[in-house]
Amino acid sequence: MKEQQNIPTSKASRSARFVKTGINIGGNYIKYYSKRLFNPEFGKDELNQDNATDIYDSLSELKGSALKVAQMLSMDKNILPKAYTDTFAQSQYNAPPLSGPLIVRTFKRYLEKTPEQVFDKFNLKSTNAASIGQVHHAFLDGKKLAVKIQYPGVGDSISSDLKLIKPFAFRLLGMSEKELNIYLREVEERLLEETDYELELKRSVEFSDACKNLNNVVFPGYYPELSGKRIITMDWIDGLHLKEFLKTDPPQDLRNQIGQALWDFYNFQQHELRAVHADPHPGNFLITPAGKLGVIDFGCIKVMPDDFYEPFFSLISSDTLTDKAKTLDAFRKLEMILPNDSPAQIEFYYKAYREVIGLFAKPYMNNVFDFSQSEYFDHLYSYGEKISKMPEFKTARGVKHFIYVNRTNFGLYNILHELNATVRTDTYKPHLELAKTFAADNSL
């Protein structure tokens, strides 16, 4: 893949790139409607692919929060047409990499040395490039290392980029402005944390230590002395990304083993730590030659406060859904039902939310669950698509914590479905009592 020689970093240059993309999309629509004049049956597949390509090309050039939003949307299978999710999925670990001179400049700025002065050997050609940064091979004292380097300017352009993304998000997501603002504010908070590599290094050490006893899950060691504000150095973990792993046609028992490791990794964090790795895209994991799950990124962490955790998990892990009064109480605490709703609205939202949560909760309601079931996912996606088109859901509902917690759990479900894995779901259960804190000093 061709290396990128520079990144637009000023607000003006990034805005100009968005304007150019908007013009391209306008041209795509003109082409589409021209073809429709001659063939009224002409579908939107070509339009969707052209738009997806133009938007992705623009976002991949800009990097940072712009590309991160595309990455997030690629995981929401029921929100966008397939052309968008397939194209945006490239951002998970296959974005255009930065050139060597830009990498050297980053080292000089943050470590005051060139890569060759820090390591015995450093490969200026990246091995993986994603939305926030890219990874390089290095060696020091015989150790094989992975060096993650953040793209220039991404941490400083988050707020302005998200404002520029708004028009595209309006068209793609169909959200109301209020709902979109809530979504983007929560995304902005997490992205500000994700571009803070000093915070990520601290969390990586804490979480990998907290999760070290999980079966078939491995983590790299981290090197604070070789890291900085925009650079993280860790042990290299050999392995395959999910797509590469599946191409090897792994046996079912190995699929199940990796699936179980993923389930335990996420549910241990949710229920024992009350804070979770909230970026479950395949680029953050490797399957090692020994058949273990390698976790290589802790940039995005979502802390779950008690006033969210208790009502949310009571809906999927207890008898709450069978008791209408308890269900309505949980819905109100989670702002899924609002104080000014009429009796008719309360009844409508009660039935709609109860159905979708009942679907989501199915894996929790059984000790073992087969995630290969296409009919389960077809039902889940079709119902999600159905309610997304209802006018009643065009207004913002639900506390902000839903954005990343739903993304985390549905992302986990999607990976398990791709694996066709059958897993035990009773290994780490919700604790519906006063939350335990992960760190006494509130370090998270």
Q: Is residue 49 assigned to a domain?
A: no
Residue 61 has pLDDT above 70, yes or no: no
Q: Is residue 278 assigned to a domain?
A: yes
Q: Is residue 292 assigned to a domain?
A: yes
Average pLDDT over residues 359-375: 92
Confidence grade of residue 71 (pLDDT, cut at 50, 70, 90): low
The alpha carbon torsion through 81, 84, 86, 90 (nearest 10 deg) reads -160
Residue 310 has pLDDT above 70, yes or no: yes
Token code pair at residue 124: 């200026």
pLDDT higher for 162 or 305?
305
- What number of other Cβ atoms are within 10 A of residue 380's Cβ? 20
Lowest mean per-residue pLDDT among 90-104, 190-204, 378-392, 420-434: 90-104
Question: pTM of the prediction?
Answer: 0.76
Q: What is the span of the domain harbouring residue 434?
A: 238-444
d(CA 249, CA 310): 40
Residue 76 has pLDDT above 60, yes or no: no
Residues 135-171: tens digit of each pLDDT: 999 999 999 999 999 887 777 777 777 776 666 665 5
Q: How many domains does the chain have?
A: 1
Computed over every residue of the chain, the mean pLDDT equals 81
Q: Is residue 372 assigned to a domain?
A: yes
**In the structure, how many helices (H) and strands (E) does the chain have?**
16, 12
pLDDT-above-90 percentage for the chain: 45
- Is the distance from CB of 277 to CB of 270 less than 8 angstroms? no
Confidence grade of residue 393 (pLDDT, cut at 50, 70, 90): confident
pLDDT at 8: 57
Q: Is residue 441 assigned to a domain?
A: yes
Sign of CA dihedral 238, 242, 244, 248: positive
Residues 417-441: tens digit of each pLDDT: 999 999 999 999 888 764 344 434 4
Q: Is residue 370 assigned to a domain?
A: yes
Q: Is residue 357 assigned to a domain?
A: yes
Q: Is residue 186 assigned to a domain?
A: no
